[in-house]
Chains A and B, each alone.
Chain A
Amino acid sequence: MKRSIHNLLSITLVLLLSCGPGFAQRRGGGSARTSVNQGNVNRNTNVNSNRNVNANVNRNVNVNVHHDVDVHHSYYGGGCCYHPVATAAAVTATAMVTAAVIGSMVNTLPPSCTVVMMNGLTYQQCGSTWYQPQFVGTSTTYVVVAAPR
């Protein structure tokens, strides 16, 4: 009988350990939940959002403040390994030097862009790079696209 209880206790312990809180403590890069009823611990996928609209890379001393746009965890295919922040930073810094990676997203455009309407869609042409503005959640984001023809 003692042994049974011991075994069961072990099983219980294992169960407790493996079935504990399903979400790990996160550190940084998140945002406060803004609703009691619709918040989901898994939806904290961040889209980099610079509050500073100044697009001059050299003068821009902004920190990357991340706004949670309440995107579902499936948004970036599980959210584990895709870092829009890094992509955005790289693109912002190099957009005027080399062509940006198609499909990457930025929240601010490089300087000297022109608005081009083509096929009923709005584009921003910045040098040789084309951006398509879109709402991601309630944030405006620019996706690097192939030059429309």
Chain B
Amino acid sequence: MYKRLFCSIAILSFSLSLIAQSTPAPKNTDIDPVAMAALNKMGTYLRTLGTFQVKSVQTTDDVLENGQAIQSDGVIDVVAVRPNRLRAEITSDDKHQFLLYDGKTFTIFGQLVNYYATVPAPPTIGELIDKLDQKYGIEMPLVDLFLWASSRSDSTKDITGAIDVGPSSIDGTSCEQYAFRQAGLDWQIWIQLGDYPLPRKLILTTTTDDARPRHTQVLTWNLAPSFNDAAFSFEPPDGAQKIAIAEVTEYGNDQKEPKTGSSK
């Protein structure tokens, strides 16, 4: 009786170990703790920044139906004052947009089309990021900088591979280059060495697409920006027309007439 029980347990544990071995779970050896520590240190440092300006010179690949990747350039300039003010200017081949947040309302203004939309906004940048993402399908420009700094997010939990690549210079500044893997995404980051562990360059490679489209950002920081309060609020220029923002959640089952957010 006991023998049989023992045997069953033995089979069970052996089988479990087989299952465990064949499951493609990340092995700890794929994750260099030095790289993870650098990422955490950067996040902790970003959290200490109350006010900052960061400019991203960036590229993004779009993929044509035939699988060919086409690169486009853009510049994003963000001024953030935690917890409740943010201004982002987005310049690209087909856009010149401003995203303005003053702690009460959020406005998106497309200068080329001269359209704007204003919606009520939550009281903090962190909540605004969630609302824009979930309600309007808008990714906050340079959102990673805020999410890495967010104490609530465990942003490293998805990482399945981490490598310390080595020293590398960005715009003449000494950095350390790291490479990470997670589901659907390979990414590299260059973190400034010294007392200011800021991200200085990012490359994201989307691995769910055969064309492996890339997004790159080269970041320039100003930790003592000058600005006034008017920078975060919106005064419609002459001729600008108010339009709506399509809401993601209410759009789901109705493909014909998108319900649009009240733009009052």
Contact = CB atoms under 8 A, between A and B. Distances in A.
- Does A pair with B? yes
B252 A134 contact: no
A51 B93 contact: yes
A39 B185 CA distance: 9
Contacts of A5: 11, 14-15, 18
13 contacts: A1-B11, A33-B204, A33-B206, A34-B60, A35-B144, A36-B180, A36-B187, A41-B183, A44-B208, A64-B65, A133-B243, A136-B137, A137-B136
A63 B64 contact: yes
B97 A134 contact: no
A49 interface: yes
Interface stretch (B28-36, B66-74, B77-85, B225-233): B66-74
A98 interface: no
Contact of B204 (A34, A51, A65, A70): A34
B116 to A, nearest CB: 9
B148 interface: yes
A33 B215 contact: yes
Nearest to A9: B18
B208 A23 contact: yes
Given A12-B18, A70-B133, A135-B244, A41 B94 contact: no
**A-B residue pairs, 6 tightest by C-beta:** A103-B256, A32-B213, A37-B147, A32-B215, A122-B241, A8-B15
B89 interface: no
Nearest to A122: B241
Given A28-B65, A36-B144, A70 B139 contact: yes
Interface in B123-146: 129, 133-134, 136-140, 143-144
Interface in B223-263: 241-246, 248-249, 251-253, 255-258, 260
A16 B97 CA distance: 46
Interface residues of B, number: 78
Contacts of B242: 122
Nearest to B14: A5
Given A21-B183, A122-B243, A133-B243, 10 more contacts: A28-B65, A28-B68, A32-B206, A33-B215, A36-B147, A37-B147, A41-B184, A41-B208, A71-B248, A143-B258
B210 A77 contact: no
A111 interface: no
A34 B204 CA distance: 7
Contact of B137 (A8, A121, A122, A137): A137
A138 B208 contact: no
A28 B211 contact: yes
B190 to A, nearest CB: 14
Contacts of A137: 136-139
Contacts of B97: 138
B129 to A, nearest CB: 8
- Tell which of A5, A63, A136 has the most Cβ of chain B within 10 Å: A136
